[in-house]
């Protein structure tokens, strides 16, 4: 048996990894403004449950490899836990802890009845055949059965997973129970109980919050703004597409292969076609090629980091030219990067608000599954727009009340809701 156990997670709370350090730092900043008993705040710093599994999978070569997976439930005060499953070769338990905590704040901020969770498998999905990807997904789903259900924890896609992975996940759970349970995951194909608009939802929500921010800042000629998007996965590509549909000018985009820039605006439909055909942006020629680092500091008005964590740091925040940063990714800005943007007066729409469109439509999908009644796309997008704008307005109200930046305001709003729910429910036993 070949063992490839990737236990490079740091269990010691004293040395959290970068994403977890960021999540805890953001919490500390915001919690200082929240009127809650100190012991309730202390409780909120910890994940409620953490589940680690190591499971064997037969590779196409016939060899058995052991893979590691995680599922973390951060908090359940507002309802069952909700959050995606990430497949990545460098993912750690600490990173999943951070992402689960952000899901708690995200759901609370946009007022959907969920707590936060996240899951991951330590694997690079690009190194797997389709049948290996299916075997890993089915085995991971079956390993999670003790801690998931439509009423306790509902996974969804995240980086490295998609609607096909969710279909296998749902089928594995359903086969085990003996009947179909569409409400066990969201982000499924529409035929299997997925929702209209779920695929586009996160990117669309990013652009809705960008527009609300432009209005809030009083930008008159909004359509003259130059937009740069880092990341061309599910979030970045749909954000670019929706921005293009609304007549905005996207001047720069990138993916793992690098970036492309055109001052007068890129041909987004052509880029989407190129990526669908070739698998990445590489060899797209209509524009100037540049690196991901160069892309972040391009001359532009709006920067949308929609790739990975830890992209805006003390090393590049000083050089960022955008006046508005809209976080499509989870945790793209480190505490040091955040402080520099704040000092420079750059407005930042935080991840838990800007990218909440995905989990909002996941919530609609779950509601549709539980009721066995599906909505049309117009209804989904109308409700998405309504909830995003409401959360945006709530965030600005709380930020103005406390005279703080939007990240701190959004976190104050979320922590207050979760904390109040804990206090109202009381303590068991």
Catalytic residue annotation = 118
Least distance between ligand GLU and beta carbon 103 (Å): 6
Least distance between ligand GLU and beta carbon 260 (Å): 26
Residues 72-91 that bind ligand GLU (CB under 6 A): 82-84
Can residue 160 be called a binding residue for ligand GLU (CB under 6 A)? no
Q: Looking at beta carbons only, is 259 or 330 nearer to ligand GLU? A: 330
Q: Looking at beta carbons only, is 235 or 303 nearer to ligand GLU? A: 235
Can residue 254 be called a binding residue for ligand GLU (CB under 6 A)? no
Residues 304-333 that bind ligand GLU (CB under 6 A): 330
Q: Looking at beta carbons only, is 19 or 320 nearer to ligand GLU? A: 19
Helix orientation angle between 18-31 and 93-109, rounded to the nearest 10 degrees: 40
Can residue 153 be called a binding residue for ligand GLU (CB under 6 A)? no
Q: Looking at beta carbons only, is 68 or 362 nearer to ligand GLU? A: 362
Least distance between ligand GLU and beta carbon 81 (Å): 9
Token readout for 276 is: 């669908």
Least distance between ligand GLU and beta carbon 59 (Å): 27
Can residue 186 be called a binding residue for ligand GLU (CB under 6 A)? yes
The rounded distance, in Å, linking the Cα atoms of 322 and 296 is 9
Spatial contact of 92 and 8, defined as CB atoms under 8 Å apart:
yes
Q: Residue 130: which residues within 8 A CB-CB, separation 6 or more?
A: none
The residue whose Cβ lies closest to ligand GLU is 84
Q: Looking at beta carbons only, is 119 or 419 nearer to ligand GLU? A: 119
Can residue 158 be called a binding residue for ligand GLU (CB under 6 A)? yes
Using the rule CB under 6 A, give the single segment among 129-137, 166-174, 175-183, 354-362 that binds ligand GLU: 354-362
Can residue 119 be called a binding residue for ligand GLU (CB under 6 A)? no
Least distance between ligand GLU and beta carbon 306 (Å): 11
Residues 26-45 that bind ligand GLU (CB under 6 A): none
Using the rule CB under 6 A, give the single segment among 30-38, 290-298, 356-364, 417-425 that binds ligand GLU: 356-364
Using the rule CB under 6 A, give the single segment among 71-79, 188-196, 358-366, 421-429 that binds ligand GLU: 358-366
Least distance between ligand GLU and beta carbon 155 (Å): 7
| Choice from 16, 125, 193, 358 touching ligand GLU (CB under 6 A) | 358
**Number of amino acids touching ligand GLU (CB under 6 A):** 11
Q: Looking at beta carbons only, is 212 or 365 nearer to ligand GLU? A: 365
Token readout for 61 is: 């070569």
Least distance between ligand GLU and beta carbon 422 (Å): 22
Can residue 362 be called a binding residue for ligand GLU (CB under 6 A)? yes
Give the residues across from 229 on adjacent strands: 253, 304
| Choice from 354, 359, 384, 398 touching ligand GLU (CB under 6 A) | 359
Q: Convert the chain into a string of H (helix), E (strand) and C (coil).
A: CEECCCCCCCCCCCCCCHHHHHHHHHHHHHHCCCCCCHHHHHHHCCCCEEEEEEEEEECCCCCEEEEEEEEEEEECCCCCEEEEEEEECCCCHHHHHHHHHHHHHHHHHCCCCCEEEEEEEECCHHHCCHHHHHHHHHHHHHHHHHHCECCCEEEEECCCCCHHHHHHHHHHHHHHHCCCCHHHCCCCCHHHCCCCCHHHHHHHHHHHHHHHHHHHCCCCCHHHCEEEEECCCHHHHHHHHHHHHCCCEEEEEEECCEEEECCCCCCHHHHHHHHHHHCCCCCCCCCEEECHHHHHCCCCCEEEECCCCCCECCCCHHHCCCCEEECCCCCCECHHHHHHHHHCCCEEECHHHHCCHHHHHHHHHHHHHHHCCCCCHHHHHHHHHHHHHHHHHHHHHHHHHHCCCHHHHHHHHHHHHHHHHHHHHCCCC
Which residues contribute to the site for ligand GLU (CB under 6 A)?
82-84, 156, 158, 186, 330, 355, 358-359, 362
């Amino acid at each position: 048996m070949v063992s490839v156990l990737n236990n490079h997670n740091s269990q010691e709370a004293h040395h959290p990894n970068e994403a977890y350090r960021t999540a805890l730092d953001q919490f500390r900043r915001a919690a200082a403004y929240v009127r809650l008993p100190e012991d309730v705040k202390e409780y909120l710093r910890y994940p409620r449950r953490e589940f680690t599994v190591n499971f064997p999978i037969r590779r196409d070569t016939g060899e058995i490899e052991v893979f590691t997976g995680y599922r973390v439930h951060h908090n359940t005060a507002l309802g069952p836990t909700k959050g995606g499953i990430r497949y990545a070769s460098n993912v750690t338990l600490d990173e999943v802890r951070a992402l689960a905590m952000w899901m708690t704040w995200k759901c609370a901020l946009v007022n959907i009845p969920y707590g936060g969770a996240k899951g991951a498998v330590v694997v690079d999905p690009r190194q797997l055949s389709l049948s290996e990807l299916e075997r890993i997904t089915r085995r991971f789903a079956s390993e999670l059965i003790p801690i998931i259900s439509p009423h306790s924890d509902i996974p969804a896609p995240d980086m490295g997973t998609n609607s096909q992975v969710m279909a296998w996940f749902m089928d594995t759970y359903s086969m085990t129970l003996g009947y179909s349970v569409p409400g066990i995951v969201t982000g499924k194909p529409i035929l299997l109980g997925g929702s209209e608009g779920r695929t586009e939802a996160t990117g669309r929500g990013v652009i809705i919050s960008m527009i609300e921010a432009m209005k809030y800042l009083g930008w008159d000629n909004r359509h003259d703004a130059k937009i740069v998007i880092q990341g061309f996965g599910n979030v970045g590509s749909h954000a670019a597409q929706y921005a293009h549909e609304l007549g905005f000018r996207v001047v720069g985009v990138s993916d793992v292969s690098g970036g492309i820039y055109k001052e007068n605006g890129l041909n987004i439909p052509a880029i989407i076609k190129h990526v669908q055909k070739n698998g990445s942006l590489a060899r797209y020629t209509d524009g100037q090629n540049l690196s991901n680092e160069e892309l972040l500091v391009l001359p532009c008005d709006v920067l949308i980091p929609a790739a990975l964590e830890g992209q805006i740091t003390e090393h590049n925040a000083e050089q960022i030219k955008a006046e508005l940063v809209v976080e499509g990714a989870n945790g793209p800005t480190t505490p040091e990067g955040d402080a520099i943007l704040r000092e420079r007066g750059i407005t930042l729409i935080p991840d838990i608000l800007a990218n909440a469109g995905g989990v909002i439509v996941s919530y609609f999908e779950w509601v549709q599954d539980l009721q066995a009644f599906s909505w049309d796309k117009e209804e989904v997008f109308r409700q998405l727009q309504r909830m995003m704008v409401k959360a945006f307005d709530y965030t600005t109200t709380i930020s103005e009340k406390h005279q703080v930046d939007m990240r701190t305001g959004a976190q104050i709003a979320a922590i207050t809701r979760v904390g109040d729910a804990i206090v109202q429910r009381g303590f068991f036993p």
